[in-house]
Chains A and B, each alone.
Chain A
Amino acid sequence: MSKRSSRSGDAAVDAVSFIDERLGAARGLRFLMDYVFPDHWSFLLGEIALYSFVILILTGTFLALFFDPSTSQTVYHGSYAALQGQSLSAAYSSTLHLSFKVSGGLLMRQTHHWAALVFVAAITLHLLRIIFTGAFRKPRDINYIIGLTLLILAILEGFAATHCPTTCSPGWASRSPGASRCHCR
């Protein structure tokens, strides 16, 4: 009791103790603040990948609220005049709705798109940094293999996402007799 009263008044101590008394986080905060980070810009490539991923998750969650990943054919009656009355896949028509009707929807799509590009580019450059600094050797070898796996997953995800809005890559969706027409526009 006396200990606390003697310290109160110092804003920094008050703020940290507010957190520490509830979460016991002072030790973890100290670890974070003492963390020694290499003093070269190339070590930030991994950070760029990480924050692109965070943006991908946030914007992707938003897109998932509106996107309908369906190949079933619907007749389009939306705000995009050029496709009025055309028979489109539900996926494509929901993408049009997201782009033209939802406020900020196109911005979210574009942000997601660019974050995905930056994500893969940053991982690749990060991989180069790891290769050229020899950071793939023991004791970091397991981490290196995990990172490579993540790169492969990111590329596969990117490939799948390219086909989301139209779901009609020539060799895949168009060949199923149920989806009779291809709507790549």
Chain B
Amino acid sequence: MSIEVNGVNKRFGDFVALDDVNVSLPTGQLTALLGPSGGGKSTLLRIIAGLESADTGTVTIEGREATHLPPQKRDVGFVFQHYAVFKHLTVAENVAFGLRIRKRPKAEVAAKVEELLRLVHLSQFAGRKPAQLSGGQRQRMALARALAVEPSVLLLDEPFGALDAKVRKELRDWLRRLHDEVRVTTVFVTHDQEEAMEVADEIVVINEGRVEQVGTPDQLYDAPANDFVMGFLGEVTSLNGILLRPHDVHLSRTPQLAGAAEGTVSRLVRVGFEVRLSVLTDDGDDVTVLLTRSHARELGLEPGAKVWVTAAAGAMAVPAMASVATG
């Protein structure tokens, strides 16, 4: 294991940011810390980096006790949400910073900087100031800067959070490819479940200072530990006391399956290839159902239509309020 976090607690005044967190992150993998804003995931990352100190608990990086080491001795690279570029230095000087601090020979620094700028596709901007780069370019530069010192662990705090949707998506794919190329243990924080599912090998879901679940994207999606994880990873709707995905609701115009709830279509919205329905059941549930456009047309659905809804065969569902029962 590359990073071991044991029994970490952190408070800011009365606010509990982390509550007895234990995580171990494997070497060479791309791990996402996923959770809602204010859930403690950034705090955990900053504690790993040494930018914040834990009240109690220990952090071990590559087998080395790091709890009380200052950030510059932890051998980690850190990438900030707002890039934290050195404004007064050129792109090349930014990337060279860590190497110059380590007093590496000039020729070695120059060669390394050139190699990294090629890796992040910024070679032609080497002599520019960061102010002349776009947000995406700045973040790639910040990544090259962090990689320059060949850290054993790369930590990224909401790396794409300040970018617009299109650039975000590009950089996300690019980060995945870069990781496959460089293979440094990477941990990134995100509140975007799509980003985490798409990029990460493993996801740690953090909410209200606690780890809710750890697993691969598939494990989390198919077997969420509780209703929070299920709700956070995708849309859910509740039907007969269970939570399930709107596309896992079976809908018919006649009572076909045992236990199906009777209701009426109260709203119908067409978005591209899908149709979203709100079905008000006679038991009082407001169920969201997702159908393909052709399926909806075949059933002849209109607002006010009488329908029967139930969980489809093979639907993944968890009992509603599971977290209240366990927590």
Query: Is chain B found bound to chain A in the same assembly?
Result: no
Give the A-binding residues of B (Cβ under 8 A): none
